[in-house]
Structure 1
Amino acid sequence: MDSEQPTRYQTAMVSTYYPETSFLNHLLMPDGTEQSCGSDILNLLHSGKVLIVNSRKRNGLILFKRYHAEFAGPGAAVGGEYDSDCQMVLPIGNLSLLDPESYEERQKAYLIRRQWIRLIKQITENPVPQQRVQKILDQFDQYFPAEIVADLPDAAFALLVGVFPQTARMVRRFGSEVDGRFNY
């Protein structure tokens, strides 16, 4: 009998992965303006030269790689082979990059970069996406003035902690207590 056979459904797979396009190409700031790609800084990083984010200022760089972003804060090394895959940069604060004066200063800057990476890694180990976003927002709020943090795009925070941009947007609007319906 036909009614005894299980019904089979054929579904179409829907993908939101676009290998040839990236939302980095259309990074919008919270005020709706499109962010420039920091091409001068990016060219400097791609030159192979190692620079240090000035540790005497509240500044830094968000370095956008293909599938994630990294934050290089004060004292961190940027450029060289390490950032050759960087696709875009977003300066934070009044960015100041310095040439390392010695081998020891360069090594120290690499260690500081590693510390910034470890901080972000600790945040991303939280399995709850909203809490990851809230934690990175808290970190940035502690270090940078509120108006600077408010001007950073949702996509930057999303790529830093491995969530969708809409999750970052929701947390920024409603806080991390957004109920489970928004687990993006």
Structure 2
Amino acid sequence: MFTSRNFLSNVADILTQLSNGQLLMVNSRKRNGLILYKRFHAEFAGPGAAVGSFFDLDCERVLPVGNLSLVCPKSPEERQKAYLIRRQWIRLTQQLTDNPLPTQRAQMILNQFDNYFGNEIVAQVPDDAFALLVGVLPQTIAKIRQTSETPYVGDIS
């Protein structure tokens, strides 16, 4: 799953690029994305979203979702569009976190990812990643996965 040498090498390369302030964007032609672990939360950058630059200098870890493909924006217009798309992904997550009930936030983030990526990909994402995206405990995500009709694998880390 996420243990191959190639995977670890790619993650290290991505973190290096982010810590150097390089601006990249998630390939908008694929169902893929990047979970960016910050100190106290995580952010999801989906297709078309900008990653890097000054936005992600504080990124501590990354987790590719799907078959990640990062590309360099080719023009100022493409960069601006990528920034706007990143903001849209953040707003989507914010809408989920506006719900005061942790179990509902957990259910909604799992549903969103399942609808977009499918069960097989969602099963590979650790509980702590989802938890940090919507501000719940990893145990809450695990509980929802266990009670859900969709068979999730749970935390792989």
What RMSD in Å do the two structures reach over aligned CA positions? 1.7
Q: CA deviation at 1:47?
A: 1.4
Which residue in 2 is equivalent to 1:111?
A: 84
Give the alignment's TM-score, normalised by structure 1. 0.75
Counterpart-to-counterpart distance in 2, 1:48 and 1:152: 26
Once the two structures are superposed, the pairs formed by residues 22-101 of structure 1 within 5 Å of their partners are 36=8, 38-101=11-74
**Which structure is higher in helix share?**
2
Which residue in 2 is equivalent to 1:127?
A: 100
Counterpart-to-counterpart distance in 2, 1:127 and 1:36: 36
Counterpart-to-counterpart distance in 2, 1:151 and 1:52: 22
Show CA shifts across 1:39-69 (max 9, x none).
2211111111100100000000000000000
Which residue in 2 is equivalent to 1:170?
A: 143
Which residue in 1 is equivalent to 2:116?
A: 143
Counterpart-to-counterpart distance in 2, 1:59 and 1:115: 16
Counterpart-to-counterpart distance in 2, 1:43 and 1:62: 15
Counterpart-to-counterpart distance in 2, 1:152 and 1:112: 22
Task: Structure 2 unaligned segments of length 5 or more: list them.
Answer: 150-157
User: Letter of the aligned partner of 1:77 in structure 2?
Assistant: A
Task: Structure 1 unaligned segments of length 5 or more: list them.
Answer: 1-28, 30-34, 177-184
Percent of residue pairs identical? 65
> Counterpart of 2:67 in 1: which secondary structure?
coil
User: Letter of the aligned partner of 1:139 in structure 2?
Assistant: Q
Report how many aligned residue pairs link the two structures: 143
Counterpart-to-counterpart distance in 2, 1:108 and 1:69: 22
Q: CA deviation at 1:145?
A: 2.4
User: Letter of the aligned partner of 1:57 in structure 2?
Assistant: K
> Counterpart of 2:123 in 1: which secondary structure?
helix
> Which structure has the bigger radius of gyration?
1
User: Letter of the aligned partner of 1:56 in structure 2?
Assistant: R
What stretches of structure 1 move > 4 A for 4+ residues in a row? none
